[in-house]
Amino acid sequence: MPERARLPGVDRRPEQVVCHVDMDCFYAACERLREPQLRGEPVVVGMGYEDGDDHGAVATASYEARAFGVESAMAISEALERLPRRAETDGDADGQDASERDSSEETGYYRPVDMDYYESVSEDVRAILRDSADVVRAVSIDEAYLDVTDRTDWDGVEGFASDLKARIESAVGVVASVGVAPTMSAAKIASDADKPDGLVVVEPGAVREFLAPMDVEAVHNVGPVTARELRETGIETAGDLAESDPDRLADRFGERGREIYRFARGEDAREVTPRDDPKSFSRESAFSEAVADTDPVRERVRTLATAVAGRARRESALYQTIGIKVVTPPYDVHTRARSLSGPVDDPELVEAIATDLLAEFEDARVRKVGVRVSKLSFTDREQASLDGFDDSDERVGQKRGDRSHHPPDHTRDDCQLTLSDF
């Protein structure tokens, strides 16, 4: 683990404690979960490198690939010029260890974007985040804000964040960088400040000092175009921006000029809020090793069903679809769901349907199970008749381990797409 950075503050007044959790090279990390032999190797996730394709873009590149100049949003043709695609042999497919290959080869592994699989891994992370904070705002598939004010304080938040990182890595197998600050904008910048595997805590009273030496483009809401215009006026750093005349900034950039001035000074009154009503509730649990005995799997599903139904009741939510997730080795994700004729609140029904759906996997080796309720209603308390089931199961994502070809939608480190449960 790298040495942790901690900036002491002068102001010790109680303030909100915000964590920004950002998964490092998330798509590449997911591919390494599925193919452990890719660990330590240059990995590029994107589209357009397959035979017959003549255009495409990089969705994300591992840090090893970035060493060759490959970056997110780069044309795949340019990426291939900088880092040729490695010719994969049968030995690679059978799991040949990377150390057995010629490390001098300046080639890398290319993989297509598989959003279904990445969302599955992301939901595993989000389950941990929801268990760790009372308020979670997921802003993309690989990052989220947490308000942990009621879970810890400034004296204990570094240990809290360190434990959160360790839990994500241990339970899911991917690495997160975490930034902690009293504001959302500073927490996000802090999570980028010590990547990969970083943890930076910026205490109240130290935000402006933390931001001051950074390039002006690091300030929240300052993009490349605005940064270029600011540099033309002599504003190079966040500290320069914080000392500028806010009226002159407003003349040049409108009200956004005053906003970025406040952000550069560490002034950000926004609170962490969930984006909207959740689309579903789910809970998952992994076994220490793949289990072939149906009894412990069924008991685990019952426990998860009780937990999910309990949460729905606490949130005053009705649900119309009940589903399960079953993960089998190596990392094949299967989901099954059954829809009702209308929304209900019935914990016993959740358990009954979940265990019934599980019967299909009676002879499977199982490494993880999950239960989900979806098609939520937070206003209509009229329950449907239980005689109105739709007996046909929805077979969603038979094997999310199978790669699907979705074009990347890049905004920064990885594609930023809205998550759905399971």
Active site residues: 143
| Residue 282 contacts residue 256 (beta carbons within 8 Å) | no
**Measuring CA to CA, how many Å separate 366 from each of 287, 297, 311, 329?**
8, 8, 25, 7
- Among residues 111, 150, 102, 89, which one has the least CA distance to residue 26? 111
User: Measured at the alpha carbon of residue 236, what is the angle toward residues 22 and 2, in degrees to the nearest 5?
Assistant: 35
| Residue 34 contacts residue 178 (beta carbons within 8 Å) | no
Count how many residues are written for the chain.
422
Q: What is the 3-state secondary structure (H, E, C) of 36-73?
A: HHHCCCCEEEECCCCCCCCCCEEEEECHHHHCCCCCCC
User: Measured at the alpha carbon of residue 218, what is the angle toward residues 214 and 220, in degrees to the nearest 5?
Assistant: 130
**Pairing of β 199-202 and β 280-291:** unpaired
| Residue 180 contacts residue 152 (beta carbons within 8 Å) | no
Helix, strand, or coil here: 273? coil
Q: In this structure, what are the phi and psi dihedrals at residue 86, rounded to the nearest 5 degrees?
A: -75, 135
| Residue 251 contacts residue 227 (beta carbons within 8 Å) | no
The H or E element spanning position 127 is helix 115-132
* HSE-up of residue 195 (Cα within 13 Å, Cβ side): 19
- Residue numbering of the annotated binding site: 22, 142
